[in-house]
A and B are shown apart, each in its own frame.
Chain A
Amino acid sequence: MTAKKIVNKFKTLINQRFDRWLIKRIPVVESITLNRGNSFIFPSRFGLMFLATCVILFLIGTNYQNNLILFLVYFLLSFMITCLLLSYQNLSGLVLMAINSEDQFANESCTFTLRLTLPKNTKSNRAQQTSFAFKQASSTFPASNAQPSSEQQNITLFAKSAKRGWFKPGRVTVQSYYPFGLFRVWSHIDFGFSSLLYPTPVENALNNVVLSGEETDAGNQAAKVGFDTFSTLKPFQQGESLKSIAWKQVAQGKGTFTKLFEEERGGDVFLSLSAFNGVPTEERLSMLAYQVLTYEQQGISYALDLGTRVIDVGSGAEHQQLCLRALALYGDEHA
């Protein structure tokens, strides 16, 4: 147990040192051309196995004084050297550029985009079997692969965080085992990716204070949200609630659509963090996020009071973003 602890401590120590070294070696960049200075190459596990096989063959060849086996060994070694050069060539000269990402929701898979440009004037295929993934990404996301045929392409990377606020997924690992799996060529590049994560929407009853309820002709419409009348479908966009997805159409393979509900415009709503008693702050924020989304969808104007910050009544995409951002950054001094 203690030995394991020591080993783990040692490992984290090494990792920390490595990260510090990496920061110096490959600082944050927006765009990078892979070359000798920023990529690493080392025999893969299979490469080491292959070397071991070569040693075995060498022993057989020497002990039987068999020139053919020795030639096979020398050939395999020479083959490995050629592989070393070819694996490096596969990644060298690739230009990677980060594309700014939009705000997303916590607890959902967030996407980040890289633009990959293959070097010009290369006859041979590049970026074969090249995968991209965040260095610290949870293993649930498969690495994205480059399409070696197209000269310029966007590569989507996935990451996930449960925490709202600014999310920095960290360094991106680009790696390839092409062409024979004997070598791993890789690089850890920090593109400075960051994305603002809104709190995860948590469904809750919409019983908020209705502003100037007497003045609006349908003052209590807001309470009757459950009886929406379905009107139309529109293509699904990132950030829309999963609850409104038209699953039936998804199942039929027609694509992802969001159900739009037509509401008669009700009175403006006042959303307040202090409205939920006995609920932890994070959950309150999530509930508010849900409400913001729902009211926006229903076309009801809403105001938001976070105690430290108050946002006036309004509606529309910009207003929604303003509210959600405020929720995401609640409690953050830099907000």
Chain B
Amino acid sequence: MPEFLTRQSLSLIVFSYALVIVLLADQVNAVLIIFGVLCAAWRIALFTGRVTALNKIITNSISVVCIAIIVLMVYKLGVLNILVHVILLGFSLKFLELKSVRDVHFFVNTGLVLVAVFLVFNHTILMASAATVVACLLLMILLSIHGAALNTKSQLKMLSKILVLSLPLAIILFLVLPRLPSMWQMPLQNKATTGLTDSVSPGSIAELSQSSALAFRASFNGEPPKGQARYWRVLTLDEFDGKTWSQSSSLKREERRARRGQQIEYELIDKQSSYQLILEPHYKHYVPSLDFAYSSNDSSLLSDFSLRSIDPVYKRQAFEIEQYKQVDGFVNTAKSLQKYTQLPNKIAAIDNPKTREWIDNKLAAGIDKYTILEQLLTMFNKGDFRYTLKPPLLGEQQIDDFLFSSQAGFCVHYASTYLYVARVLDVPARMVAGYLGGEWDNSNEFLSVRQYDAHAWVEIWKDKQWVRVDPTAYVSPERVEQGILQSLDDQSEFLSGQYLSLRHWQNNQLFNQLANFLDRADYFWAVWVINYDNQKQLEILKRLLSNIPWLNLSMLILLLLFLGATITALWIFKPWQAEKLSIEDRLFNKLYEKVTEKYLTRSKGQTVADYCKTLGELKVNAQSSLLKFATLYNQIKYQASLTSSQKSLLIAELVVLRKAISKQCKR
């Protein structure tokens, strides 16, 4: 088989293949990657002549075996994963039969599909740029084959030219073409979720506090809430096993119902403001919200006032949320409250004797149970308790250990202890997990909430409503008002392992500015690109339309599309650079095409003078005019010494002659 690829084409193919693999690396099985690398290496060896081509039977059997292996390995991971693996496998196998230009075409098409698959999971500017690079490389492969005669420099020039030329129309298409609703349910990836989970233990929050990953961003229409009011509710937890707080089966049932779109009915009154959330993908249904929230788009409310999206948030998604001051028509029966006083089984032998003894003593002293709870908070405040992200390990009796020996911990420890005491006192209480705070960008346009803002607090049932209590606030008021960094006594605890994160270097002015700039860029990317929808589109178009009254919407769309196409065409053909005919040539052409072509066709390469002479012999009555025409024509065209005024005189004469000749010829 003769080699049809050039060295350049093959290196481009291998390089773009490698990039695709890198992009998709965390989505695919390592075996597939190894296999793909082997395929690529084999093709390179074939190119250099170290191996010979495989025959069709071997190639096919390799393909079948590989598909079988890969499907067996990944079938548990869901449809989408299988699809990704199979496409990537086909992409890799193409190396074994890269025998003709058509195979390269197949390779490029598959590559483009893989780029799209990559974009299903990744939305940041950085990732989008990486995808752009791969897409350009894939197109470059085509150019290296169909424009092989060009050298690399002109190929690059050509590619950048065509990319730039294609952009205006692409942008117009993106801006004006209406978005269709999704046509069918696409398979989603079972990806490891990030952020809060449905059970909270000290360990899980400590882990989150080490991550500077963005959780969501919010921008407010109107007055944004103050620091201490920014409690972003995500979920409530009501079951305690002595170590971990989790959701009871009834809460879980409610979560499942919410995913089907069944809402809990209660009335929200007194609208306060509204805000927009842009959630980072976390592959769960949680939508953080400020109390009390309602959102109309694809989400439902739970009885614990938290918000759930109907589809998991697998991409950056925007939510418009309305905030209300009160809820009404919400009743908790004595029975439904029962689960909020649940405590670990006595049999489990986790009954924290010291704590119980402390409570019993207080009760014996005749102190009211709500007062005891307040005393506990005062203890946190006045006692030797300290706020740290790296507390000493607690033993089996966690509450006892924390309350009476270590006295060091963070939100979960304090919330958990408070809850325990409340429940021992038979006060219905639950833990709320969510985020607290957030950071404004430089121009105060949006608030970024990161994973390290994760927080846990408590709600107790008092006076027929749920009342928020944040025990952490009594230990470290800074945590509530300023954020986690300020709340730490030892600031080196903050993001201690994350030297690569710009957030780690927050104290450095330069890094801080850089991080802020990147955040802003990313925010606008999220708002205007990722979440650009029909509504925003309408906004832009209407703004355009309001300036031009005679235009309607569909006309405008068509006009813009036409404009885009025209710009491209003009840019390529540059009609203004076309060679222009001189006046005398135009006059002759007019004469020839309109009149004299009927009598005598001008043969190839015949001069104007010669043509006139021959025609004159044919049409005797026009002979003298024709000869004069020829002389004048030659004079205008070739006599360099003519001044412009002389020239215009001669041209005027030529115009008259032309008319005379057409008349004479017709006779």
A residues near B, CB below 8 A?
Answer: 30-31, 45-46, 49-50, 52-53, 56-57, 59-72, 74-79, 81-83, 85-86, 89, 120-121, 125, 128-129, 147-149, 177-182
Contact = CB atoms under 8 A, between A and B. Distances in A.
B149 A120 contact: no
B109 A53 contact: yes
Contacts of B514: none
Contact of B529 (A45, A67, A148, A180): A67
Nearest to B570: A85
CB-CB nearest 6 A-B residue pairs: A74-B173, A78-B169, A78-B170, A75-B170, A78-B166, A181-B146
A121 B579 contact: yes
Nearest to B578: A121
8 contacts: A67-B530, A69-B116, A72-B119, A78-B169, A78-B568, A129-B149, A147-B149, A178-B146
A65 B179 contact: yes
Contacts of A182: 142
Residue of B116, B181, B529 contacting most chain A CB atoms (<10 Å):
B116
Nearest to A176: B146
B70 interface: no
B112 interface: yes
B315 A66 contact: yes
A79 B166 contact: yes
A128 B530 CA distance: 39
Contact of B101 (A74, A76, A79, A181): A181
A62 B569 CA distance: 29
A72 B139 CA distance: 13
B149 A128 contact: yes
Contacts of A149: 149
B142 A69 contact: no
A67 B146 contact: no
B167 interface: yes
Contacts of B115: 72
Contacts of A180: 139, 142-143, 146-147, 162
A69 B119 contact: yes
Interface on chain B toward A: helix, strand, loop, or mixed SS?
helix
Contacts of A71: 170, 174, 529
A70 B131 contact: no
A53 B170 CA distance: 17
Contacts of A46: 102, 105
Given A46-B105, A53-B112, A68 B529 contact: yes
A23 to B, nearest CB: 20
Contacts of B112: 53, 57, 72, 76
A74 B148 contact: no
A129 B142 CA distance: 13
Contacts of A83: 162
A71 B529 CA distance: 9
A121 B577 contact: yes
A28 to B, nearest CB: 14
Given A63-B184, A64-B315, A71-B174, A125 B154 contact: yes
Residue of A63, A68, A71, A77 contacting most chain B CB atoms (<10 Å):
A68
Contacts of B430: none
B133 to A, nearest CB: 13
A78 B167 contact: yes
A179 B146 contact: yes
B120 A66 contact: yes
Nearest to A59: B183
A81 B119 contact: no
A30 B605 CA distance: 12
A229 B368 CA distance: 137
Given A72-B119, A83-B162, 5 more contacts: A74-B169, A82-B572, A89-B572, A125-B154, A147-B149
Nearest to A60: B116
Nearest to A146: B149
B530 A68 contact: yes
B165 interface: yes
A178 B116 CA distance: 26
B5 to A, nearest CB: 14
Contacts of A81: 166, 169, 565, 568
Contact of B120 (A60, A75, A128): A60
B428 interface: no
Interface on chain A toward B: helix, strand, loop, or mixed SS?
helix
Nearest to B175: A74
Contacts, number: 154
A300 to B, nearest CB: 44
A152 to B, nearest CB: 15
A139 to B, nearest CB: 15
A221 to B, nearest CB: 51
Contact of A129 (B148, B162, B186): B148
Interface string B146-165: 11111000100010001101
Interface in B89-118: 101-102, 105-106, 109, 112-113, 115-117
B186 A63 contact: yes
Contacts of A53: 109, 112-113
Residue of B102, B105, B131, B531 contacting most chain A CB atoms (<10 Å):
B105
B592 interface: no
Contacts of A64: 120, 182, 186, 314-315
B579 A120 contact: yes
Contacts of B120: 60, 64, 66, 69
Contacts of B131: 68, 72
Contacts of A147: 149
A293 B166 CA distance: 62
Contact of A68 (B119, B143, B154, B181): B119
B438 interface: no
Contacts of A59: 183
B128 to A, nearest CB: 6
B308 interface: no
Contacts of A57: 112-113, 116
A332 B139 CA distance: 56
B517 to A, nearest CB: 22
Contacts of A68: 119, 123, 128, 131, 529-530
A182 B568 CA distance: 17
A62 B529 contact: no
Nearest to A47: B105
A44 to B, nearest CB: 9
A129 B166 contact: no
Nearest to A72: B116
A117 B150 CA distance: 19
A310 to B, nearest CB: 39
Given A68-B119, A181-B146, A78 B564 contact: yes
Interface string B126-147: 0010010001000100110111
A66 B314 CA distance: 11
B589 to A, nearest CB: 15
B183 A125 contact: no
Contacts of A78: 166-170, 173, 564, 568
Contacts of A69: 116, 119-120
A192 B396 CA distance: 100
A61 B266 CA distance: 37
Nearest to B141: A180
A86 B568 CA distance: 10
Given A67-B532, A68-B123, A62 B147 contact: no
B69 interface: no
Contact of A181 (B145, B168, B531): B145
Interface string B554-570: 00000000001100110
A230 to B, nearest CB: 39
B109 A49 contact: yes
Given A62-B180, A179-B158, A180-B143, A72 B530 contact: no
B568 A128 contact: no
A255 to B, nearest CB: 26
Given A66-B120, A129-B148, A75 B166 contact: yes
Nearest to B123: A68
A66 B531 CA distance: 8
A74 B146 CA distance: 23
